Amino acid sequence: MNGKRSIEQNNLLIESLKRYEDKLLIVPPSRREWTWISSFNFAYSLLLTVGGGFKVPATIGSQIFAVFYCLFGIPLFYSTLALIVYRLVSPVLKWQFLTRSRRFLLILFIFGCFILWTLLIGICLYYQVLNNDFWLSILHAFTGSLTVQIPSPVQITTCGILFLNFAATISVSFLLLILLVSLSVFFPKELLLQETERAVEEKLERLTPPPKFQVIVDEAGESKLTTA
């Protein structure tokens, strides 16, 4: 009986020390090493504008490189992601039955998918990464989805940060999709989402060569015009 009680007390003490270390934000030496995964996380986090957490480049040259990497990489990353989303969704937005009111409903549907996806990220973080705080997991999920700096990156493992980065990319795609559908409601012509039948016919006329005719004279001396 005493042995079981002693084990419970030790487990309680270990759990209390772990929570105390989390509040102090103590970073173990292994978390400060530049491994391949941690370096990828740092570069990916800079592109997502969520930051690299407690890990920063040590030398001046690497810090200058990180600045120029952000200046050129962030616009290129988001413009590429927006172009991919546009290419995927533009054929759907050209459907004739997708009226303006239905596009508003589509915006609400995508926003609901974004909320559900973020909650799913929070649940995965709770069961796989942060096993002691559900609401902290939800907070990490929403701040990561909105590309905001993670409040406490020390509590998340390297694989957890990698998972958050990939999940945040999908979340940003949802937000870009909402923006694109919203723009298609008010500026369809600017997005080249409206093509009239006359414009299509003119394109076909330019591509189709004109028909050729020839004159045929019969035995009676009468001429007839026929296509070649």
> 124-178, pLDDT tens digit by residue?
878 876 666 788 788 878 887 887 766 555 566 777 778 888 888 999 999 999 9
Q: What integer pLDDT is reported at residue 110 of this predicted model?
A: 92
- Check if the beta carbon of residue 77 is closer than 8 Å to that of residue 168: no
Give φ, ψ of 109 to 5 degrees: -65, -45
Looking at the domain that runs over 34-190, which CATH code has it been given? 1.10.287.70
pLDDT value, residue 72? 92
pLDDT in tens, 31-69: 567 788 888 888 888 888 876 555 777 788 888 998 899
- Could you give the count of Cα atoms lying within 13 Å of 114 in the half-sphere of its Cβ? 21
Surface-to-core class of residue 189, CB atoms within 10 Å of its CB (0-12 exposed, 13-18 middle, 19+ buried): exposed
pLDDT of residue 154: 57
Alpha-carbon gap, residue 160 to 153, rounded angstroms: 9
Cα 70 from chain centroid (whole Å): 17
pLDDT band with cut points at 50, 70 and 90 for residue 115: very high
- Report the chain's mean pLDDT, rounded to a whole number: 75
- Reference 128, options 154, 156, 153; nearest CA is 156
Q: 139 vs 195, which has greater pLDDT?
A: 139
Q: In this predicted structure, what is the pLDDT of residue 199?
A: 53
For range 100-127, the mean pLDDT: 88
Helix (H) or strand (E) holding 41: helix 36-48
Tokens representing 185 are 């409601």
- The sign one gets for the Cα dihedral 46, 136, 145, 169 is positive
**Pick the residue with more confidence: 214 or 181?**
181
Domain ranges of the chain: 34-190
CA 151 to CA 153: how far, in whole Å?
6
